Amino acid sequence: MFDLLDSLFWLKIFFASLALCLFSALLVLNRKVPLAYVRIHAKIIALPPLAALAALITANPGQAEAPWRLDSLAWLIALFVLTIGFIVQRYSVRYLFGDRSYRKFFVLLTLTTGGASCAWLNDDLRWLLLCWGITLFGLTALIGLNSAWQAAKNAALYAGRIFALSWLAIAAAALWLSLATGHWQLSSAIAEESLVQLSSWEKTGIGLLIILTVMIPAAQWPFHRWLLDSAIAPTPVSAVMHAGLVNVGGVMLTRFAPMFSGDGLQLILLVPAVFSVLLGTGMMTVQTDYKRQLAASTVAQMGFMLVQCALGAYIAAVIHLILHGLFKAALFLQAGSAVRRYESFASKRGRPALFWDMIGGAFALTVVIGIWVSAADDGYQLISALVLGWALFIAWRQLVTANDGRVTRMAGLFILTGASLAFAIIHSGLHGLLKEAVVQGAQPPVMAAVLTVVVLLAGTAAGALIVRQRFAWSGALYLRLVKTGEPHFESVEERPNYLDQYLTQGGRQS
């Protein structure tokens, strides 16, 4: 009882702070309020994440009390979303200063992150529909923030239509599930005694609707074009998309996990997810626009997150969406200062570099074998081991092999060791926090994981050939990836044509 009262107390504090933030955002929207107030607003929005952090610390990891579901997963997602929202708003105080939509941006961003943070605190499907609808509306408005720019309006219009399809899919799934089980409470509707009431075709139909729901915001093929179009939005908007918006699929599939346990739905989800990993990686390789490179990378990363869900590794998927969201938001916020280095690494290669590459490869292979052997019966562990080993090898090349001299290589090795320890500590802490709130899904056949690994490795080899373009088919595939990675023609302009009217007005005044 103490835990429940304690959580409900923090829930009231949380909602009170969110209400204060919304009221403060409306004050920003009022043109009679001086713009200097925006700095005060950017401090007020620190209150909800602080309340979520306090609730997370005191929460019962697996707590669910109708109508609230105040477990560690819900509070962790709320903290994650609002923290990114706070950082982005603080960043935008100066970044967007002078923009015509300056005031409207803070209102929409507060509304969007507020809706996304509240979606999982309640166990009622109707609450989920309301909060998710608010989130999608806010994201659409943020993409079209500059309403005077026709290209931005076109991008927002396309995103709005496809987001509406996502919302209708989850609405249909929620209604179907409620009518079939007699429950609006999600935990009751997906309980074992409720799911047995569903026929196989009903379970498959609801599962397909949920898969469609998460594939659209995750920008999975064939719905990836909206994310490429959204590069036209201000950079802070691209950063905040990773605050539980494009990566919401990990949370939604985790909450609906019993629907996908031991069922062919896992394999159905696995196919487009694996394809999206390959497609996103390929588009990232051939893209020249930095923001669209990051967007293509997100397509691949969200595909891998859905692969984790399809293999029943829901805790890994949630950890992935949080760490990837923080990392990619940081990359977007520093996109304006990104400088590509054209220095040829190959020109520096020689026997010392080859020697250090061999050491790094042996180290990565040892890690792969160690992780795989420790859990050979877990299909996801094979993929996880390969991904971690490949990441370690790439980091080794960048931090150790690419440096000249013993001192710089030792410094790189020290940085790599520290980063690896930090990752291990964070991963272990999040895993311990989520293990009681997240139910691990059933493992699909091991052969599915093996085939996934084979496809990913084959895609990696094909990517290397595409870059070198030594074969006719690789050149053709390169051009196909360039075309696939392009946004819609209507959402691209050589320059902002809406500025012409201001230049014309300025010329007349002069």
pLDDT, tens only, 194-205: 778 878 888 888
Q: What pLDDT is stored for residue 1 in this prediction? A: 38
Mean pLDDT, residues 44-70 taken together = 79
**Entry field: residues in the chain:** 510
Mean pLDDT, residues 61-77 taken together = 76
| Residues 419 and 477 occupy one common structural domain | no
Confidence band (pLDDT; 50, 70, 90) for 501? low
Confidence band (pLDDT; 50, 70, 90) for 462? low
| Residues 77 and 188 occupy one common structural domain | no
Q: Report the predicted TM-score, pTM, of the whole model to 2 decimal places.
A: 0.84
Q: What pLDDT is stored for residue 397 in this prediction? A: 76
| Number of neighbours of residue 482 by Cβ within 10 angstroms | 15
Q: What pLDDT is stored for residue 342 in this prediction? A: 41
pLDDT higher than 70, residue 338 = no
User: Which of 21-25, 26-30, 61-65, 205-209 is predicted least confidently?
Assistant: 61-65
Q: What pLDDT is stored for residue 166 in this prediction? A: 92
| Residues 178 and 312 occupy one common structural domain | yes
Query: Domain for residue 138, yes or no?
Result: no
Give 290's Cβ-side CA count (13 Å radius): 13
Q: What pLDDT is stored for residue 62 in this prediction? A: 53
Q: What is the pLDDT of residues 282-301, one digit of tens each?
A: 888 877 777 888 888 888 88
Query: Domain for residue 29, yes or no?
Result: yes
Q: What pLDDT is stored for residue 32 in this prediction? A: 86
Amino acid sitting at position 39: R
| Residues 79 and 203 occupy one common structural domain | no
Task: Give the bridge partners for 65, in sequence order.
Answer: 68
Q: What pLDDT is stored for residue 149 in this prediction? A: 78
What span, in angstroms and rounded, lies between the C-alpha atoms of 244 and 119?
10
Query: Domain for residue 100, yes or no?
Result: yes
Q: What pLDDT is stored for residue 29 in this prediction? A: 87
**Domain total for the chain?**
3
| Residues 437 and 450 occupy one common structural domain | no
Residue among 305, 298, 160 nearest 228 (CA): 298
| Residues 288 and 152 occupy one common structural domain | yes
pLDDT higher than 90, residue 172 = yes
**Residue bearing the bigger pLDDT, 379 or 223:** 223
What span, in angstroms and rounded, lies between the C-alpha atoms of 157 and 178?
31
CA dihedral 372, 374, 380, 385 (to 10 degrees): -40
Residue among 440, 438, 441 nearest 69 (CA): 438
**Residue bearing the bigger pLDDT, 377 or 68:** 68
Structure tokens at 446: 């091991």
Contact call for residues 183 and 194 (beta carbons, < 8 A): yes
Confidence band (pLDDT; 50, 70, 90) for 233? confident
SS3 at position 455 = helix
What span, in angstroms and rounded, lies between the C-alpha atoms of 416 and 398?
10
What span, in angstroms and rounded, lies between the C-alpha atoms of 358 and 377?
29
| Residues 55 and 68 occupy one common structural domain | yes
pLDDT higher than 50, residue 509 = no
Q: What pLDDT is stored for residue 510 in this prediction? A: 40
Q: What is the pLDDT of residues 88-122, one digit of tens each?
A: 999 988 888 877 888 888 999 999 999 999 888 88
Domain that holds residue 22: 1-129
| Number of neighbours of residue 6 by Cβ within 10 angstroms | 16
Query: Domain for residue 399, yes or no?
Result: yes
**Residue bearing the bigger pLDDT, 338 or 243:** 243
Burial of residue 462 (CB within 10 Å: 0-12, 13-18, 19+) is middle
Confidence band (pLDDT; 50, 70, 90) for 455? confident
Q: What pLDDT is stored for residue 502 in this prediction? A: 54
Structure tokens at 175: 């209604």
| Residues 456 and 433 occupy one common structural domain | no
Mean pLDDT, residues 331-360 taken together = 61
Structure tokens at 137: 């509306």
Structure tokens at 347: 């020109």
Which residues, 6 or more positions from 125, have their beta carbon under 8 angstroms from its beta carbon? 174, 177, 178, 184, 185, 186, 189
Q: What is residue 223's DSSP assignment?
A: S
* Highest-scoring range by mean pLDDT, 160-169, 178-187, 273-282: 160-169
Contact call for residues 300 and 277 (beta carbons, < 8 A): yes
| Residues 123 and 258 occupy one common structural domain | no
User: Which of 76-80, 229-233, 358-362, 506-510 is predicted least confidently?
Assistant: 506-510
Confidence band (pLDDT; 50, 70, 90) for 344? very low
Contact call for residues 376 and 446 (beta carbons, < 8 A): no
Q: What pLDDT is stored for residue 47 in this prediction? A: 92
Query: Domain for residue 431, yes or no?
Result: yes
Mean pLDDT, residues 169-175 taken together = 93
What span, in angstroms and rounded, lies between the C-alpha atoms of 267 and 320?
20
| Residues 56 and 203 occupy one common structural domain | no
What span, in angstroms and rounded, lies between the C-alpha atoms of 232 and 237?
10
Mean pLDDT, residues 55-78 taken together = 77
Contact call for residues 231 and 292 (beta carbons, < 8 A): yes
Query: Domain for residue 134, yes or no?
Result: no
Q: What pLDDT is stored for residue 67 in this prediction? A: 79
Mean pLDDT, residues 246-259 taken together = 86
Confidence band (pLDDT; 50, 70, 90) for 450? low
SS3 at position 225 = helix
Which residues, 6 or more positions from 494, have their beta carbon under 8 angstroms from its beta carbon? none
| Residues 174 and 84 occupy one common structural domain | no
pLDDT higher than 90, residue 461 = no
Which of 74, 99, 129 is the endpoint of a domain?
Answer: 129
**Residue bearing the bigger pLDDT, 147 or 75:** 75
What span, in angstroms and rounded, lies between the C-alpha atoms of 137 and 164?
9
pLDDT higher than 70, residue 43 = yes
The share of the chain scoring above pLDDT 90, in percent, equals 15
| Number of neighbours of residue 27 by Cβ within 10 angstroms | 18
Query: Domain for residue 498, yes or no?
Result: no
Mean pLDDT, residues 390-414 taken together = 75
Q: What pLDDT is stored for residue 467 in this prediction? A: 62
Task: Give the bridge partners for 122, in sequence order.
Answer: 68
SS3 at position 68 = strand
Query: Domain for residue 311, yes or no?
Result: yes
Contact call for residues 276 and 299 (beta carbons, < 8 A): yes
Q: Which residues of 81-105 are buried (b: 16+ CB within 10 A; e: fewer)?
A: bbbbbbbbbebbeebbeeeebbbbb
Q: Mean pLDDT across the chain, nearest whole number?
A: 80
| Residues 21 and 166 occupy one common structural domain | no
